[in-house]
Amino acid sequence: MKDFAAIDFETANQYRSSVCSVGVVIVRNGEVAEKFYSLIYPRPDFFTYLTTQVHGLTMLDVEDARPFPDVWQVIAPKLEGLPLVAHNSPFDESCLKAVFKEYGMDYPNYEFHCTCRASRRQLAGILPNHQLQTVARYCGYDLTNHHHALADAEACAVIALHLL
């Protein structure tokens, strides 16, 4: 796969619609062509202790952020004609579907591919686990800023170029 968009969401709470940040890496002809990151004002609009512990974001970080439809209006044209790739794609795909539903937006049935599943298939017995940071390291990417949506999307892009 040489053309795709790697995507990663972070959520504010237990609701999949509560996306609070997004990272997107556009890959064309096997090269990173563009990167995009944005904070998002989440719905519902609260953070849990657990999610803040994971990614470090709080309501103070997103209080001036745009809502999802405004952010997606910028992202959608970048994704046109591209499959989406995520590490543990069922999570990111469910977030995208939930936030589209939350805002009453028509979901365009994006095609998703999963680098975690690809890792389990291709690297079984080679890696101690198939977590993003482990697979990224194996593929030559140092994920020092794990759970920052853009860093995670960059790691996913590197993995996809190696495994998909």
- CB-CB contact of 43 with 17 (8 Å): yes
Cα–Cα dist 69/127, whole Å: 39
User: What is the residue whose two structure tokens read 């579907």?
Assistant: 97
Where do the domains of the chain lie?
4-163
65-116 pLDDT tens trace:
999 999 999 999 999 999 999 999 999 999 999 999 999 999 999 999 999 9
**% pLDDT > 90, the chain:** 99
130: helix, coil or strand?
A: coil
- CB-CB contact of 159 with 136 (8 Å): yes
Residue range 4-163 in CATH 3.30.420.10: yes
Mean pLDDT score across all residues of the chain: 97
- CB-CB contact of 89 with 5 (8 Å): no
pTM of the model: 0.96
- Strands 112-114 and 31-39 turn out to be unpaired
Residues 158-163, mean pLDDT to the nearest whole number: 97
Please report the pLDDT score of residue 133 as a whole number.
96
Please report the pLDDT score of residue 159 as a whole number.
98
Q: For residue 29, what are its two tokens? A: 């002809």
